[in-house]
């Protein structure tokens, strides 16, 4: 029988994993819509407006699902993690309050105008609304990653009467892992969106290589893949070094190192066995592990055995989620390089192999993001706030039955709702983007009356 703690952890992992899929898509998509509308206003090329409308429908669906799954998160701290809430309320609470005040209201306030208001407010104010929504998604990322980073690398606080009290807000917000995590996650969100956009562009190019809307989105996405994927790999490396400095046990688990060694190998594959304290069937490259982590062939790498057994994260999980993330990242960079080669040979819109590769890579960003978050969150265990509060001390006094019941309810409801929602999104992506077209002159002349129905993505369907 599973106990309350593990059930509460599964429930949090389940709800937050479902949730993160939507914001990581909408952070990138909001910025993409911002670029599309800016291009439209600059060039007055209707294809950009067509693309804007095409992606706006998808954005509305994804954003709605992000909102409703996010409200659940804001209450789950209290329902399942009461003692954690009391301990961290004075630190994480204000960061989340700033997120609500500076980001959620901004997004929600301008979302209606963005979705339904083009004819009512005109292109310039509408562009302002798109900008505000895009800025809001980035503010949101800033605050929530600051809060998460504080749980990973707490700073700027003292413990008073059994709770954390902030002594320096600058140190608490800009805690040691925050800059790395923020950059890594925002780039991840942009890449995720780029690969979805690239896959949709590729799908429509495979059907008709003359489709201009598909050409534009595919080209934009492949520039992102070629430029941002390599930057992301570098950012990830820097984030890893930061983790080595502040959470060495996590890095040891990610690398599958149990014994502390100088000149440690890089273990490519293997099966970390927590009980036997060794990584079985290891395929390794001598000394490369030390080189990557310490930039010295004979650098010393601390293994998991140097930590007390009750302080070790589960290497079996973390070792593999980390490899999935890195593997997907390498594939992303490969697609970027392949697209550059095709582009310089003037074959970007003609190479079917490239389009098929891009199509398969459509969901890759989501896989990498989930694998990455599993790595950093499972790797923080057994701590909920690293070094300060154990996960086992953080749970509410709720019975296992109540948690199991709510967990089952979440699994059922999320499967139905987000399954159907994802199906609607895929269907919208499958539509030819050229059909999202509304002639500019026509809707500007119309002054917002007759064509309101077209501008309302819900009407007329």
Q: Which of residues 64-83 bind other proteins (CB under 8 A)?
A: 64-65, 67-72, 74-75, 77-79, 82-83
413 binds other proteins (CB under 8 A): yes
- For 88, counting Cβ atoms within 10 Å of its Cβ (0-12 exposed, 13-18 middle, 19+ buried), the class is buried
Provide the minimum distance between the beta carbon of 263 and other proteins in the complex, in angstroms, as a whole number.
Answer: 47
171 binds other proteins (CB under 8 A): no
460 binds other proteins (CB under 8 A): yes
288 binds other proteins (CB under 8 A): no
410 binds other proteins (CB under 8 A): yes
- Please report, as residue ranges, which positions from 340 to 399 form the binding site for other proteins (by CB under 8 A): 396-399
Provide the minimum distance between the beta carbon of 63 and other proteins in the complex, in angstroms, as a whole number.
Answer: 8
For other proteins, the closer CB: 43 or 399? 399
* 174 vs 119: CA distance, rounded Å: 42
Element spanning 279, H or E: strand 278-285
For other proteins, the closer CB: 68 or 359? 68
* From 108, 206, 388, 404, residue interacting with other proteins (rule: CB under 8 A): 108
Residues 6+ apart with CB under 8 A from 247: 152, 153, 379, 380, 386
210 binds other proteins (CB under 8 A): no
- Please report, as residue ranges, which positions from 119 to 158 form the binding site for other proteins (by CB under 8 A): 120-121, 132
459 binds other proteins (CB under 8 A): yes
Q: % helix / strand / coil in the chain, to the nearest 5?
A: 75, 5, 20
**Under rule CB under 8 A, how many of the chain's residues touch other proteins?**
80
* 148 vs 178: CA distance, rounded Å: 8
Contact 191, 232 (CB under 8 A): yes
- Please report, as residue ranges, which positions from 307 to 346 form the binding site for other proteins (by CB under 8 A): none
101 binds other proteins (CB under 8 A): yes
For other proteins, the closer CB: 97 or 238? 97
* From 14, 116, 174, 223, residue interacting with other proteins (rule: CB under 8 A): 116
* 386 vs 181: CA distance, rounded Å: 15
Contact 399, 58 (CB under 8 A): no
227 binds other proteins (CB under 8 A): no
Contact 319, 256 (CB under 8 A): yes
170 binds other proteins (CB under 8 A): no
* From 111, 249, 315, 342, residue interacting with other proteins (rule: CB under 8 A): 111
Q: Which stretch binds other proteins (CB under 8 A): 115-123, 206-214, 306-314, 333-341?
A: 115-123
* From 4, 134, 135, 166, residue interacting with other proteins (rule: CB under 8 A): 166
Provide the minimum distance between the beta carbon of 254 and other proteins in the complex, in angstroms, as a whole number.
Answer: 31
For other proteins, the closer CB: 43 or 167? 167
Residues 6+ apart with CB under 8 A from 279: 256, 257, 258, 267, 270, 271, 272, 273, 315, 319
* 300 vs 286: CA distance, rounded Å: 13
CB atoms within 10 A of CB 295: 9
The DSSP symbol for 287 reads T
> Phi and psi at residue 81, in whole multiples of 5°?
-130, 50
């Amino acid at each position: 029988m599973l106990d309350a703690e593990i059930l509460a952890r599964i429930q949090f992992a389940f709800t937050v994993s479902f949730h993160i899929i939507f914001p990581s898509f909408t952070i990138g998509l909001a910025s993409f819509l911002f670029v599309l509308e800016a291009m439209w206003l600059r060039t007055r090329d209707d294809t950009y407006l067509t693309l804007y409308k095409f992606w706006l429908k998808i954005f509305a669906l994804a954003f709605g699902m992000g909102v409703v799954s996010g409200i659940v998160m804001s209450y789950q701290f209290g329902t399942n993690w009461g003692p954690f809430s009391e301990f961290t309320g004075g630190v994480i609470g204000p960061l989340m309050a700033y997120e609500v005040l500076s980001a959620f209201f901004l997004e929600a306030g301008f979302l209606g105008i963005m979705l339904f208001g083009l004819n009512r407010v005109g292109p310039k104010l509408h562009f302002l609304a798109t900008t505000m929504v895009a800025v809001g998604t980035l503010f949101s990322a800033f605050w929530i990653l600051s809060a998460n980073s504080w749980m990973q690398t707490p700073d700027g606080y003292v413990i008073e009467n059994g709770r954390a009290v902030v002594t320096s807000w600058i140190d608490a917000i800009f805690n040691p892992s925050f800059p790395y995590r923020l950059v890594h996650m925002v780039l991840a969100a942009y890449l995720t969106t780029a690969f979805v956009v690239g896959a949709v562009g590729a799908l429509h190019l495979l059907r008709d290589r003359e489709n201009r809307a598909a050409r534009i989105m595919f080209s934009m996405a492949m520039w992102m893949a070629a430029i941002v994927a390599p930057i992301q790999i570098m950012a990830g490396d820097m984030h890893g070094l930061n983790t080595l400095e502040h959470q060495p046990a996590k890095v040891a688990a990610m690398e599958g190192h149990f014994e502390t060694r100088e000149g440690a190998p890089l273990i490519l594959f293997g099966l970390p066995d927590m009980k036997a304290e060794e990584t079985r069937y290891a395929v390794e490259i001598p000394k490369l592990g030390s080189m990557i982590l310490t930039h010295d062939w004979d650098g010393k790498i601390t293994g998991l055995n140097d930590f007390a057994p009750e302080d070790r994260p589960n290497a079996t999980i973390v070792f593999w989620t980390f490899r999935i993330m890195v593997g997907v990242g390498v594939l992303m960079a490969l697609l970027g390089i392949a697209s550059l080669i095709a582009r310089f040979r003037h074959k970007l819109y003609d190479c079917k192999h490239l389009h098929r590769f891009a199509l398969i890579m459509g969901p890759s960003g989501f896989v990498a993001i989930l694998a990455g978050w599993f790595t950093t969150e499972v790797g923080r265990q057994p701590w909920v706030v690293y070094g300060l509060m154990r996960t086992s001390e953080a749970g509410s006094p709720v019975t296992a039955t109540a948690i199991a019941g709510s967990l089952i309810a979440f699994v059922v409801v999320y499967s139905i709702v987000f399954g159907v929602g994802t199906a609607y999104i895929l269907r919208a992506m499958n539509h030819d983007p050229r059909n999202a077209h509304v002639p500019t002159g026509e809707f500007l002349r119309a002054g917002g009356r007759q064509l309101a129905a077209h501008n309302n993505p819900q009407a007329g369907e």
